[in-house]
């Protein structure tokens, strides 16, 4: 697992490329992946978001679902 502070740093892309990933999975990460990172894995990148988008997009979707009184929610993979 890699959890960089800033994906725009050249060293981060180099570190990720050195791992030779086939896919990058992103979860609970508040940054937009730059093209330099998107180009690294052979099969691309996927993001896991803990809500049924577009409902509760953004940060804290589980808390938002609870506060809204939802009895169920889900996960979006994109």
1-12 confidence digits (pLDDT tens): 888 888 888 899
Q: Domain spans of the chain?
A: 10-77
**pLDDT tens column, 27-77:** 988 889 999 999 999 999 999 999 999 999 988 999 999 999 999 999 999
CATH 3.40.50.170 fits 10-77, yes or no: yes
What is the SS3 assignment for 37? helix
CA dist., res. 13 & res. 78, Å (int):
21
What is the SS3 assignment for 26? strand
């Amino acid at each position: 697992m890699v959890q960089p502070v800033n994906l725009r740093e050249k060293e981060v892309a180099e570190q990720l490329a050195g791992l030779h990933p086939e896919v990058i999975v992103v979860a609970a990460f508040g940054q937009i992946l730059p093209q330099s990172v998107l180009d690294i894995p052979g099969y691309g990148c996927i993001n896991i978001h803990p809500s049924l988008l577009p409902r509760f997009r953004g940060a804290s979707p589980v808390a938002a679902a609870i506060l809204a009184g939802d009895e169920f929610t889900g996960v979006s993979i994109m």
